[in-house]
Amino acid sequence: MVGSSHEALHRIFQKEPELLTKALQRVLNVPFPRPREIAALNVDLTEVEPVERRVDTLLRAETDEGTYLLVVESQGKVDERKRGSWPYYLSFLYEKYRCEPALIVITQSSATARWASRPIRLGFPGWYSLTVRPLVLGPDNVPVIADEQQARQDPPLAVLSAMTHGRGPRVAAILESLVAGLEELDPDSAAAFVQFVDSCLTDPQAKQIWRDLMTATQYFFRHQVAEQVREEGREEGREEGREEGLEAGLEAGRQRLREMIFRILASRGVPVTDAVRGHVGACQDLDQLDAWAQRALSVADAAELFSEE
């Protein structure tokens, strides 16, 4: 499971390598040739001496015009040490693979993007021995996709939009459109993208919007994010149990699941009768409530929740 925003921002290109070349061509207007094949390489750049150096993601792209190395770095903030490490990465990789390397930096911060896009020049003015020009993907050049039709036309780019604009004022519209875009993908790919977006959303409000949207989709319960949300609910119940007594904590967990069931049904336009609401409200079994929450994703009638009883 992707554990942080930093990891998600670069590992998405391991899941969807063509998204990277598409971003180079369509976002940065870089005439990168169409790859015939893309393969992930070992990211370890450690030398014989005990100095450990690792890039975030390293891909090899085979094209009709040659073989290229795509070095992807996820950057959360300005870090002047990169002035030395990024040129080292490129020189080392060229020496090791004898392929032309290109450095791509992805960030959620406009300030970091402006910093990263400045060329790194080593040498003296007028005669630089080495110049590094990073290609930067960030909120200032990745398009905002807040329209369902656009998201359906290009779901991976809609994912990248959500990942880079997760702190912006239009995040709700972006995430709602992305849900529509995910419907165009196979369930496993959609579930993986759900995780990447969830990991990238560092703003608590944006993350809650995303998880509320996901509880009403078929992808949510296919992925570890669902278990993480349920575990958070259980932990919340345990915490309340420590503070207010065990039974109060358990009831908090049950109530959370009841609300999830009703929210899923409402989002799918399935009417909830008083009888169904009363039956769910009376249930004291956490496992049963969890099973009903998963069943709510597919039933056509709310009464079908209880069909297996």
pLDDT digits (tens, 9 = 90+) for 97-117: 999 999 999 998 999 999 999
Q: Which of 103-117, 143-157, 251-265 has the lowest mean pLDDT?
A: 251-265
Neighbours of 286 (CB within 10 A): 17
Q: Looking at this protein, which amino acid is placed at residue 39?
A: A
pLDDT at 231: 56
Longest distance between any two alpha carbons in the chain, whole Å: 81
pLDDT at 258: 84
Q: Which of 118-127, 131-140, 188-197 has the lowest mean pLDDT?
A: 188-197
Q: Give the whole-angstrom CA distance, residue 195 versus residue 177.
A: 16
pLDDT at 51: 47
Q: Give the whole-angstrom CA distance, residue 266 versus residue 260.
A: 10
What is the pLDDT averaged over residues 72-92? Answer: 91
Q: Which residues pair with 69 in a beta bridge?
A: 60, 101
Q: Are strands 100-106 and 135-137 parallel, antiparallel or unpaired?
A: parallel
Q: Which of 71-75, 158-162, 223-227, 252-256 has the lowest mean pLDDT?
A: 223-227
pLDDT at 113: 94
